[in-house]
Amino acid sequence: MSILELIQTAEEKAEKMRQNANEQVKELLETTKINSEAEAKKMHLQAEKDLKALEIKFNEMINKEQINIDQKATTEDNLMVKDATKQFDAAIDFVLKKVIVK
């Protein structure tokens, strides 16, 4: 075999190796893209689940706080009613004295 034929054969082998390498790179890029998209989708779904769990927890906290506020307001209202009831007779006497005196 002549030197030119050896060089040509080597160049052909090198070209085939480059083509194979390019194909492998393309396949790896496609596989990486598919895996990345799948992982991103998985992370997105997990983030949505976490968000829903936080929303539920937040709503529970709001409901508990609302119950506490309502209970406190009811207690304060009851105390004001008791105080007003205690002073009811004195208020009636005061009004009657004003009406009768005039």
Rg of the chain in Å (alpha carbons)? 43
Residue 41: what pLDDT?
98
pTM beyond cutoff 0.85: no
pLDDT, one tens digit per residue, over 23-81 is: 999 999 999 999 999 999 999 999 999 999 999 999 999 999 999 999 999 999 999 99
Distances in Å between the alpha carbon of 6 and those of 15, 78, 83?
14, 106, 113
d(CA 70, CA 65): 9
Structure tokens at 29: 């890029």
pLDDT surpassing 70 at residue 102: no
DSSP 102: -
Residue 87, SS3 per DSSP: coil
d(CA 88, CA 61): 40
